[in-house]
Structure 1
C-alpha cells in the first residue's frame, strides 16, 4: 500500500457534533489492511493535576486553523508511515463525562505498523493542533489545559 500521503488520509475533521467510532473505522477500512489500531479519547471525571477534585464537564476550543493543521499533521504521519491509512476527528464545544473527545485510527497491513502510526497520529495531534481544553470542576472552579 504505497500511495501518496494525501490519499492515505481518509478522514480529518474538527466538529461540534458527537463523534462516531464506526465512522472512523469505516474511513480506514481497506482489503490490504490486516490491522487497524484505534485510539478513543473519552472525557473522564478527574484530572491528575488536581487530585481529589471532580471534573463535571469539559469545554474544547479550537483555533480556526485547527482542521487544516490536523490535516497537515495527518499527512506528515502518513509520510512517516507509508503503509498507513489514517483518520482523525476531534470534538469541540461542551462535552460531558463519558463523551468522546477524539477518535483516531490507522490501518496497515500488519498490527505493529498500525499501532505505531496510530500512536504517532494521536501524540502529534495533541502536541501540534491548536485545540484547548477547559476543565470545569463541580466546585465551580476551572482550569485551562494545552494553552
Structure 2
C-alpha cells in the first residue's frame, strides 16, 4: 500500500513539476551554499538541510580519516531515491550531493536539502532523503582508526 498524497487547496502547496534540482556524487569538496541555493523556491515555506561531516570517532574508537567509494550506478540510484521522495511529499525542490575519495576529519561527506510548502513536510522529506540515500545508494565508507585498524561500512 503506497503513501497517500495529501490534497491542498492552494496551487503553491503542490509539488513542483520537476523538483530534482541537483544530484551528484563527486570527488571535490561539497558546498552547503550550492545545495541550499539549488532548493530555493518562492512557493516553499520550509527548507530543511542536512550536512553529514567526518567525525573523529566511531563506536568509541578514534578515527584518523576515511574514504568513500561509489559503485558506477550510485548517481542513478541517487536519482531513483530522490524521485521517490519527491513523489511521496509535496517537494518544491530537492538536492543531494555525496563526496567520494579520501576525506579528513571535519570534511563534508554529504549535503541534502528539500524545500516544501510547509516546514513539517520539509523536515520529513529531508529525513527520508538522507535515510534512503544512506540505506540504498551504493556508496561505501572505509574508516581508518587511530590504532591502525580499518573497517568498511555499508559494503
Residue 68 of structure 1 is aligned with which of 76, 81, 85? 76
**Match status 1:20 vs 2:20:** no
**Which contiguous aligned blocks of 4+ residues in structure 1 show a shift greater than 6 angstroms?**
none
Q: TM-score, normalised by structure 2?
A: 0.89
Please name the residue that 1:104 is paired with.
112
Kindly report which structure 2 residues correspond to 1:38-53, keeping only aligned pairs within 5 A, or say none: 38-48=49-59, 51=60, 53=61
- Whole-Å Cα distance in 2 between the matches of residues 91 and 3 of structure 1? 27
> How many residues are matched?
142
Residue 2 of structure 1 is aligned with which of 12, 15, 20? 15
- Whole-Å Cα distance in 2 between the matches of residues 139 and 129 of structure 1? 29
Q: TM-score, normalised by structure 1?
A: 0.93
Question: Rg: which structure is higher?
Answer: 2
Q: Gaps spanning 5+ residues in structure 1: where?
A: none
**Match status 1:11 vs 2:22:** yes
Shift of 1:82: 2.5
